[in-house]
Amino acid sequence: MTGRKLSFYLLLMPLLLTLTLLILLPQLDMLGISMRERVSYGVYEFSLLHYREFFTEPLYWNTFLRTAVMSILATALTLLISFPVAWYIAKIAQGKNKNLMFLACLIPFWVSELVRTYGWMILLRESGVVSGFLQWIGVVDAPVEMLYNDITVMTGLVYASMLFMVVPLVSTLEGMDDSLVEAAYDLGGNHFTVLRTVIIPYAVPGIVSGCIVVFMLTLGNYLTPTLLGGKDSLWFTEQIFTQFITRFNWEQGAAFGVLLLCLSSLIVWLGLKLSKQSFKQALASET
């Protein structure tokens, strides 16, 4: 082996080690655990019992679907809210303002997700700031509970993922020549057709890569649904947590984990097919 080749493999080593040790091995082990059944103390047998369990118990099923639908909805909402923000940062704001606005999107991430979520709780709980304010101005005469419902969970999820949508969108939109938009107007387009025929098609790679990241983050989010949604939030990651920690049923938890991975892969694949993008393109627009 020449020195050049050696240094190449040495440099590659940390990456290979991380991938194998932290991702590949645990996942394979998880797959192994999920497909066995404890027959007696320390004795295991191959079985698909835990997958069968998932398909026969409606609670698991419903939670699974609910998590998927809520995540897709949260991704769509995040896109809807982030697009104008990204457009403003990329095309309208100039110089110092631009940096300030970018910073404003980034600042929430300087504190941990836990603290951010508790921030929402301070605002929205029964004895919280919003409830107090509403009583003070006289809109309501008793404390209002705004936590523990789907709207609050959705708000929290969108808030937590905004940045990951804004960044790829800004970088795609910044690459767009303004004269494309002007040319479209010049050729007779109105606001709506220019957005539909020129701006959105141009931004598709950014939209797709933002959506993938946001969707995965949302689907795998644990803190926000648990804290803001409470016991009824029915998020699939909670089920996994319960199986592993509360019920100490590692086999069932591992089966859920594998299913969640399959679900997210399936939905991302479908999304890419529908938007006619390749995974490579979507990732390339991140940079």
CA-CA distances (angstroms) from residue 227 to 122, 149, 155, 223, 257?
Answer: 11, 11, 12, 6, 21
Judged by CB under 8 A, how many residues of this single chain contact another protein? 18
Q: How far is the CB of 186 from another protein (least distance, A)?
A: 5
Residue closer to another protein, measured from CB, 48 or 204: 204
Q: How far is the CB of 199 from another protein (least distance, A)?
A: 11
Residue closer to another protein, measured from CB, 138 or 188: 188
Residue closer to another protein, measured from CB, 140 or 183: 183
Q: Which long-range contacts (CB under 8 A, 24 or more apart) does 242-250 make?
A: 250/33
First CA to last CA distance, the chain: 33
Q: How far is the CB of 89 from another protein (least distance, A)?
A: 22
Distance in angstroms (rounded) separating the CA atoms of residues 17 and 212: 25
Residue closer to another protein, measured from CB, 76 or 184: 184
Q: How far is the CB of 178 from another protein (least distance, A)?
A: 9
Phi, psi of 136 (to 5 degrees): -65, -40
Residue closer to another protein, measured from CB, 255 or 282: 282
Residue closer to another protein, measured from CB, 27 or 281: 281
Give buried/exposed letters for 139-162 (b at 16+ CB in 10 A, else e): eeeeeeebbbbbebbbbbbbbbbb
Among 180, 262, 266, 270, binds another protein (CB under 8 A): 180
SS3 of 238-283: HHHHHHHHHCCCHHHHHHHHHHHHHHHHHHHHHHHHHCCCCHHHHH
Among 179, 192, 248, 274, binds another protein (CB under 8 A): 179
Q: How far is the CB of 182 from another protein (least distance, A)?
A: 6
Q: How far is the CB of 200 from another protein (least distance, A)?
A: 10
The mark string for 158-177 relative to another protein (x by CB under 8 A, - otherwise) is: -------------------x
The mark string for 182-221 relative to another protein (x by CB under 8 A, - otherwise) is: xxxxxxxxx--x---xx--xx-x-----------------
Helix (H) or strand (E) holding 45: strand 43-46
Distance in angstroms (rounded) separating the CA atoms of residues 147 and 51: 33
| CB contact at 8 A, 33 and 50 | no
Interaction with another protein in 4-23: which residues (CB under 8 A)?
Answer: none
Residue closer to another protein, measured from CB, 141 or 186: 186
| CB contact at 8 A, 235 and 229 | yes
Q: Which residues contact 77 (CB under 8 A, 6 or more apart)?
A: 154, 158
Binding site for another protein (CB under 8 A): 177, 179-180, 182-190, 193, 197-198, 201-202, 204
